[in-house]
Amino acid sequence: MDCSIKGFPPYGFSIVLKFGGSIMRDLAVCKLALAELERLADKGHRILLVPG
pLDDT of the residue at 4: 65
| pLDDT averaged over every residue in the chain | 86
Query: In whole angstroms, what is the distance from residue 24 CA to residue 43 CA?
Result: 25
Mean pLDDT score, 26-44: 93
Give 31 or 6, the one with higher predicted confidence: 31
Q: Is the whole-model pTM more than 0.75? A: no
pLDDT of the residue at 23: 83
Across 3-7, 17-21, 46-50, which has the greatest mean pLDDT?
Answer: 46-50
Rounded to a whole number of angstroms, the CA Rg of the chain reads 13
Greatest distance between any 2 Cα atoms in the chain: 39
